[in-house]
Amino acid sequence: MSTQTLPERTGITTFQGNPMTLVGHAVAVGDAAPDFFVVDASMKPITLNDVTAGGTRAALLIAVPSLDTPVCNIESRRFNERLAEFPKGVSAYVISMDLPFAQKRWCGDDGEIALGMLSDYRERSFGHSYGVFVKELALLARATFVVSADKKITYSEITADIAQEPNYDAAVAAALAAAK
């Protein structure tokens, strides 16, 4: 793990009205999507190249603090319901600091959750690379990013308050546009 000092930003998001500090590099629409290192349910390492299938599909990356909280549960289920709108050229993943075992438990055995689940618990790589690691909570901020097949950021939203839901329609529209 790197010991470099990462930038810290304030004034972007709050948690229940309390200001939070985001650690990591800010990304903006048009930027090259930063690489990251997370793990899936089997503890297999997953990178940007994996979620974009080697640059052949777009990816909707949904950062949440923890699946075991009410808003994260609602958000993840709503995005899961909207997957039917996505063509094969788009993949969608929830990324949290939850352990892969907790993510797997949250998904259950009934197969109703089709979203990919990725954990940033090991290195905080996604949180730092996308500037959404919350210093005070040691969790990810609520954020959505769309990465095109050519690995450019085409959509970015960090909610004004971590306890509020994202703009589902805008994120889905951006994912659909990135699939073209």
pTM for this entry = 0.95
Could you state, in order of their start, the residue ranges of all structural domains in the chain? 37-178
Q: How far, in Å, CA of 176 to CA of 180, rounded?
A: 7
DSSP state of 32: B
Cα-trace Rg, the chain = 15
Burial of 120 per CB tally in 10 Å (0-12, 13-18, 19+):
buried
Q: In degrees rounded to 5, what are phi and psi of residue 25?
A: -85, 125
- State mean pLDDT over 65-76: 96
Q: Looking at the predicted structure, is the pLDDT value of residue 171 above 90? A: yes
How much is the pLDDT for 82? 96
Nearest to 64 by CA among 155, 160, 158, 170: 158
Q: How far, in Å, CA of 29 to CA of 107, rounded?
A: 31
H or E segment and range at residue 125: helix 125-129
pLDDT, mean over the chain: 95
Nearest to 96 by CA among 147, 145, 58, 141: 141
Pair type for strands 143-147 and 153-158: antiparallel
Class of the domain covering 37-178: alpha beta
- State mean pLDDT over 141-167: 98
pLDDT in tens, 18-66: 999 999 999 999 999 999 999 999 999 999 999 999 999 999 999 999 9
pLDDT in tens, 124-136: 999 999 999 999 9
Annotated catalytic sites, by residue?
72
